[in-house]
Amino acid sequence: MARKRFDDSNCSVARALNQVGDWWSLLIVLHAMYGTRRFVDFQQELGIAKNILCDRLARLVDNEVLKKVEAGEHGSRFEYRLTEKGRDLFPVVIALRQWGDKWNPAPDEAPLDLRDRATGQPVQTIQVQNAMGEPITVRDVFVPDARIPGSKKDSA
């Protein structure tokens, strides 16, 4: 039925999920990061229905994750390009990718080897760090004034 929306939620995670938290949106952003820009390419790479792709692209453009620009080659053509807001999803995508690689590795295939252009070295494992740059887990954090929406506790 109708997926609930969280536009007005006071939780920024819920608001973020409202924009890119459905099945396709993040995959579209991912492929845009790979360099995909055209409607037909998204469609073929993702195997997504055209009407759904239309809808998702339009919503991503509405939310300023993508921008639609004319690219006058061949038939009527457009390109969908990441905005700064869209590129800023890079840590989210990388965190998801690393989680997937760690906990659900492909049985046959090695994880994607992402490297930094400047050093030629693999990208580091993404982690949450404290002010001193030390990695921390969910057990290390707390909310000062216990102002957690709908809950009373502070960590797991």
Q: Which residues bind DNA (CB under 7 A)?
A: 1-4, 22-24, 38-40, 47-52, 54-55, 57, 68, 71-79
Buried b (16+ CB within 10 A) or exposed e, 10-42: eeeebeebbbbebebbbbbbbbbeeebbebeeb
Sign of torsion, CA 2 56 43 93?
A: negative
CB closer to its own copies, 58 vs 127: 127
Q: Applying CB under 8 A, which part among 53-61, 70-78, 143-151 lies near its own copies? A: 143-151
Which of 73, 74, 76, 118 is the binder for its own copies (CB under 8 A)? 118
Find where tokens 């993404």 sit.
126
CB closer to its own copies, 77 vs 83: 83
CB closer to its own copies, 54 vs 123: 123
Q: Which does 90 bind (CB under 5 to 8 A by kind): DNA, its own copies, none?
A: its own copies
Which two three-digit tokens encode residue 108?
A: 């046959």
Secondary structure letter of residue 92 according to DSSP? H
